Chain A
């Protein structure tokens, strides 16, 4: 009796001849491609040489929270360690993952909080020694509560097992006739690939270029003057507080003398409106404060700098400018927050521009990025008037998604920087949600973790995908 089989099926059968039964996983561990083994298995089953059984296996995988515990210990244990030598103000503990730490430590009765101060209970003191959760995670000896808490992900995987049939046992490998199987999968080669988030931001960059925009660039370290004051943000604005903005120890201050008279114009604009037609904030304005270096909190700081340069270089208007760049916020990093983010800013500077044009550019951009529906709703930014929040319609989720802000720069911004009045359409938009959807990730930190499997398996993003 001669049986026709594909090369791949013959290889699998040879492998089974020795051990009679083997799981698909075992084959893949030996270097076989998973889909090849599955197909070969089916082919062998059709020829009654093999029986396929399905079994379920529960696999556990650490989440980012879980990995962090292995690295640094659980938040509640870190907290009690810090309270070892006495009570501490909650405000002194902000560097910890404080909400989780307080919540867990309280529910375990390890700490008490009184008048904004946390201190250890006797029970807390008893638990100073070992961090049970960390040990469990390290030993992969997971408890139900670890899963509930989201430290470990539990997944049920279907496993296939190939078992040689009586016929299969009897068959003589010599009797097999090799036949090439064009339907079978082979192994996918390892290749180079761009990062999925950069694919999206590259696409945004190309879109602006296609729309005729000129690219801008700028440094991460900027004086507060550009990030805030020139953008008509008062010096006592909450965004300028320590918990929102990274101020610098080195280099602490900038030399802002290159802005010359403009510093004085900005100062006057804040105080009484200068010649912009505004009444101003009527608040104190301190040049020292404006010279403080920070990490830019938005790429709009680059747009502000560029307005100044248009004046310095006596460039002709109108002008369309854009940047895709990184920005920084002093935030606690978790599933939904990062201390850095990518934003695309654009400005159009000219005489004959209006609010309809602003909506026109944004609508064109998002259409090219694959969003059919978008809307703007009123919002507030200190530096724009007719301020708008931009939202795009997410077809998959059936909801509006925040995608950034837009508006016309106020005269209080334009005149001091540019030296004369002009209309400036401006926006700052974000695309991380697009990248997260492309890679099917829910934890925003995955954008920066660079897990090989996600880097390799994520399809290259394009707008209609």
Chain B
């Protein structure tokens, strides 16, 4: 997702219609771009990844012309046949194989329109271009250049030019090491021994994609003719981005002229066609619109549509639209044009009785018993660390579910037991009065031989702390569970590294081990910066459920 800032007056001028801020904020988001605010003449608009064509004020104005009914249907962008050529050399195949290009002539660019184009370029780099890896765009003042152009890959030290934002000539290698943009994007070329460049007939470098352009060709308000290059790793993405940029610039009053790229004439602004099954539309949307109503709504979204068969429409898709992969995408746009707000909620007949998971029902029952025993329920983090789960518990570290890329050590593993979470709760409440009693019935994750290698296990933990606490203060609550469930548990003495010697044991039912019970050792109490003694039990309630149901 990307947020763009647009000049409100520019938007209204391009839209060709007066519209109040209030109406924009209330209604414009129903097109599928989120209008967050309008302040001091600037509007903040959030654009979704399926609509990169809306990443400029020109693109937004074009879309809203249709949506607000100023100019509906497919917008025609005439392309004049040009004779400028870009030759692609074999050497780029391994590095950055695709290039697209176009020319827009007779421009009269204002400072604001240049700002908008730069924003469009940057946002496309970030979103559709995946930080310039998948695509990078260059805009050049054509008057400084002599076609034909060449797209080739050269050795890092072979070529030098003066990049934007710098005064001195630098080699490609130096640019990657020293230029701000070079440092930021050098990772894209990390595994390449040659780097891509675009040169003109005099071997002058226009651009070192995806890093930086030559200072010489910088576009300013004296620029009349713009040469656009788009390079990347995916043909479809490159050509779509070229269409988005070329049409946005043309909306400023220029004429698009084609360029011959490796034998192909670009930009290809010919609309793609897709069939829309009218019955399918009605079935999925629940809207019983007539054929001409569907057509009208398509035109509001800048499509053209004509009758194909008695049950289908042939839809022409603007060449700057991406992500129209299935007629589902057309259906969505028809419903958007119709208005999400106009959809009447309707519940279908689906005969089914509510059915909860047995373990969830059992968990609710246990929580009920714990609450009636006078214990407060907690809600703790599932993410933890080996330090908290083992070291602070005086237990030996072992393998657990552990993350590769945590931002902090505190959230670097999934907890494999509950007791550390409960000790954290006591720590958070040190400033309150005692006794303190807490419980939680939640999931932990353990490694096992399931297909992923890890599964959730539901546990119940109870913890108590007071000036004086002993084994019986936890044993009594375990007995409430036994009484209310009508089951008998057995506790057998067993030593644990985190529990006091002679005050610890395992809990069994029918000879199966369910968990442990005991007084927390003095060392562990100190590790958690606690001042008062603590006792605890923890049960595997997945296992308990299995055994008693």
Contact = CB atoms under 8 A, between A and B. Distances in A.
Interface of A: 94-95, 115-116, 190-195, 197-198, 202, 205, 208-217, 219-223, 236, 238, 242-243, 246-258, 273, 276-283, 293, 295, 318-320, 326, 328, 330-333, 339-340, 348, 350, 352-357, 359-364, 375-380, 385-389, 408, 410-412, 423, 447-453, 455-456
Contacts of A220: 382, 401, 414, 443, 445, 454, 456
Contacts of B547: none
Given A221-B452, A277-B327, 10 more contacts: A95-B407, A192-B377, A220-B382, A249-B402, A251-B452, A293-B452, A340-B381, A379-B32, A380-B49, A455-B376
Contacts of A450: 376, 378-380, 425, 428-429, 438
B205 to A, nearest CB: 23
B130 A278 contact: no
A276 B353 CA distance: 32
A250 B354 contact: no
A448 B328 contact: no
A453 B432 CA distance: 8
Contacts of B400: 250
Contacts of B327: 277
B451 to A, nearest CB: 4
A362 to B, nearest CB: 8
A149 B371 CA distance: 39
29 contacts: A94-B407, A95-B409, A116-B183, A191-B374, A192-B371, A193-B371, A194-B367, A194-B371, A209-B356, A211-B354, A214-B352, A215-B355, A219-B452, A220-B454, A223-B451, A250-B447, A250-B453, A293-B453, A319-B350, A328-B382, A339-B383, A350-B348, A354-B286, A356-B345, A360-B347, A412-B325, A448-B381, A450-B438, A453-B432
A385 B119 CA distance: 28
A38 B455 CA distance: 55
Residue among A208, A279, A281 with most chain B CB within 10 A? A279
B430 to A, nearest CB: 10
A410 B428 contact: no
A408 B284 contact: yes
Contacts of B34: 377, 379, 389
Given A339-B383, A451-B428, A410 B326 contact: yes
A10 to B, nearest CB: 26
A5 to B, nearest CB: 29
A137 B35 CA distance: 42
B345 A360 contact: yes
B352 A256 contact: no
B451 A282 contact: no
A447 B416 CA distance: 21
B340 interface: yes
> 6 nearest interchain CB pairs?
A251-B453, A354-B286, A380-B48, A209-B354, A378-B32, A356-B286
Contacts of B409: 95
A340 B383 contact: yes
B546 interface: no
B332 interface: yes
Given A210-B354, A276-B326, A197 B31 contact: no
B526 interface: no
Nearest to B49: A380
B336 interface: yes
Contact of B284 (A195, A238, A364, A423): A423
A360 B347 CA distance: 5
A378 B402 contact: no
B360 interface: yes
Contacts of A295: 403, 414
Interface of B: 29-32, 34, 48-51, 127, 130, 134, 180, 183-184, 234, 236, 283-287, 325-329, 331-332, 335-336, 340-341, 343-348, 350, 352-357, 359-360, 364, 367, 370-383, 399-409, 411, 414, 425, 428-429, 432, 436-438, 443, 445, 447, 450-456
Contact of A221 (B376, B377, B380, B445): B445
A219 B445 contact: yes
B286 A330 contact: no
Nearest to A281: B325
A277 B275 CA distance: 11
B429 to A, nearest CB: 5
A220 B382 CA distance: 10
Contacts of A388: 340
A214 B399 CA distance: 35
Contacts of A250: 399-402, 447, 453
Most A C-beta atoms less than 10 A away, residue of B127, B285, B375, B379: B379
A328 B384 CA distance: 12
B286 A279 contact: no
Contacts of B402: 248-250
A252 to B, nearest CB: 8
B411 A339 contact: yes
A387 B335 CA distance: 11
A320 B371 contact: no
Given A220-B382, A330-B407, A388-B340, A254 B350 contact: no
B451 A353 contact: no
A359 B407 contact: no
A380 B371 CA distance: 43
Most chain A CB within a 10 A radius of its CB, from B336, B357, B405, B445: B405
